């Protein structure tokens, strides 16, 4: 079953925007492709993880662009 999920993920990408969080996150890292079904993103950043959750879809031309807003930072396990 896992293999099917991975194949669907590769076929169903959507471009999203990451909003908020540390200013040190590069602008290019704030626009990325993820599976359209994702509600959360965990971004590795400076020895930890920045967590983002889907909150809205905003207009951008003819297509909505899902936005993920920063919710918290966690440290990487040692």
For all residues of the chain together, what is the average pLDDT?
Answer: 82
Q: What is the tens place of the pLDDT at every residue in 30-68?
A: 999 999 889 999 999 999 999 999 986 655 555 678 899
Q: Give pLDDT, residue 6.
A: 44
Q: Is the distance from CB of 22 to CB of 45 less than 8 angstroms? A: yes
Q: How confident is the model at residue 8 (pLDDT cuts 50, 70, 90)?
A: very low
In whole angstroms, how far apart are CA 47 and each of 6, 9, 26, 36, 53? 27, 27, 15, 27, 20
Q: Token pair 């003819």 is at which residue?
A: 62
Q: Give pLDDT, residue 36.
A: 86
Question: Per-residue pLDDT for 24 more than 80?
Answer: yes
């Amino acid at each position: 079953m896992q293999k099917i999920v991975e194949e669907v993920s590769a076929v169903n990408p959507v471009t999203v925007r990451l909003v908020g969080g540390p200013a040190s996150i590069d602008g290019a890292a704030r626009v990325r492709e993820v599976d359209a079904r994702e509600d959360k993103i965990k971004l590795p950043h400076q020895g930890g993880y920045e967590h983002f959750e889907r909150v809205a879809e905003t207009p951008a031309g003819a297509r909505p662009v899902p936005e993920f807003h920063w919710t918290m930072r966690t440290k990487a396990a040692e």
